[in-house]
Amino acid sequence: MAGYNLGEFYATRDAWNSRHAQWQSHCAIVSSQSIAQPEEQHEHSKNAGSGINGDLKEGSIQILAASNGAAAKSMMMILPKPLSIADLAMPPSHGSTLRVAYQGVPGAYSEAAASKAYPECEPIPCEQFEATFQAVELWIADRAVLPIENSLGGSIHRNYDLLLRHRLHIVGEVQLPVHHCLMALPGASIEGIRRVISHPQALAQVEHTLTNLGLQAAREAVDDTAGAAQHIVANNLRDTAAVASARAAEIYGMDVLASGIQDDPGNMTRFLMLAREPIIPRTDRRFKTSIVFALEEAPGALFKALSAFALRNINLTKIESRPQKNRPVRVVDDSNHGTAKYFEYLFYIDFEASMADPRAQNALGQLQEFASFIRVLGSYPMDMTPVVPPGKPKVISTT
């Protein structure tokens, strides 16, 4: 491998491993609470005997994290620093624990999705979505977790483009209920908040509720929800609140001002699990298959393409179109009328059938007659976990 720097590789791996060992011992103290209902957490906080420094406030859902800014900051020093693309000099060797790369910092919903899919996994925080793909491609991680759509905010378009740009395979999906909290530094009140920061998807999911709470504060987009919480603590921003998970509030020692603030109580984000190798499709359980294709321009082309599925009684669960980046516009000269400009699209569809099912194979055979390009992104088990009834929104602190 020309230009490969072994020294850098070991330094990166050792730095990562030592940060991660510190983080794991921290986690042993702060017992992890995964996406519990806001009410459950509230009750738990009332009943809990002690946090790290044992000074829980009545009516606050600050459970086990440090409750003052300084302690929270020192806690943040030992959190694993997210990988950036530049860090990916590549440490492949590791034991048998499945390493799952996600975008964000501890407390992000993507981390919760990784743990839902692989409960024993070791989540690896990354700065960008692109870095999660590269972590898997370079064998630093075994899986990447990628949010792809939300029930309120819709598709995460950039991630569709990444699926095409990289050659990873979809091997699973997770549908995660997303229950947002509004959080600020300990002692803050909703009235004193002048700015609300979070991931743009999260801000979109709470817009009406924030307005109904009378919060006129400016909204500002940042890279991830938990990163917003971390940023407020690191910079001691007393007039700023974050929209993030209850677990993020716990990790960064923030007060929850309101919980369950998503505009729809059933708010849900769908995440994809990606791997270097595809899984072998089966027919003994419910599978979904995701594909992407391009069509030749013709009247009824999309109708004909989709009829391949309808005729075989295959349910389509999602359709998304994205620009064809290598050929976004097709120009056709019409000597009589001028020049017609056609935008070229890629169509991403998810359908409810396994690639081991002859109906799916025949449908793709028929689709091939119309398509100029087809790629199977993955055939994987559907998330069939029961939906937990959502809790009611709750304003915990206004003073």
Ligand X SMILES: O=C(O)C(=O)C[C@]1(C(=O)O)C=C[C@@H](O)C=C1
Which positions touch ligand X (CB under 6 A)? 104, 108-110, 147, 150, 156, 178, 199, 201-202, 224-226, 269
Residue 94 beta carbon to ligand X: minimum distance, rounded to whole angstroms = 24
Q: Which residues pair with 126 in a beta bridge?
A: 83, 103
User: Looking at residue 350, what DSSP letter applies?
Assistant: E
User: For the chain, give me the number of helices (H) and strands (E)?
Assistant: 11, 18
Cα–Cα distance list, 3 to 7, 8, 388 (Å): 12, 11, 51
- State which residue, 42 or 179, has the beta carbon closest to ligand X: 179
Question: Please, which residue, 269 or 397, has the CB nearer to ligand X?
Answer: 269
d(CA 29, CA 253): 14
Closest approach, Cβ 344 to ligand X, in A, equals 27
Alpha helices in 155-300 (DSSP H): 157-165, 200-212, 225-234, 246-252
Q: Which of 12, 132, 269, 289 is catalytic?
A: 269
Closer Cβ to ligand X, 247 or 287, answer by number: 247
Which contiguous run of DSSP H or E holds residue 28? helix 6-29
Contact 255, 183 (CB under 8 A): yes
Exposure class string for 263-273: b at 16+ Cβ within 10 A, else e = beeebbbbbbb
What is the Cα Rg of the chain in Å?
23
Is the CB of 64 or the CB of 108 nearer to ligand X?
108
Is 317 marked active-site? no
Q: Least CB distance from residue 324 to ligand X, whole Å?
A: 24
Active site residue 225: no
Catalytic residue among 271, 293, 309, 370: 271
What is the total residue count of the chain? 399
Residue number with CB closer to ligand X (88 or 203): 203
Task: State the minimum distance, in angstroms, from the CB of residue 101 to ligand X.
Answer: 12
Tell the smallest beta-carbon distance from residue 5 to ligand X (Å).
32
Catalytic residue numbers? 269, 271
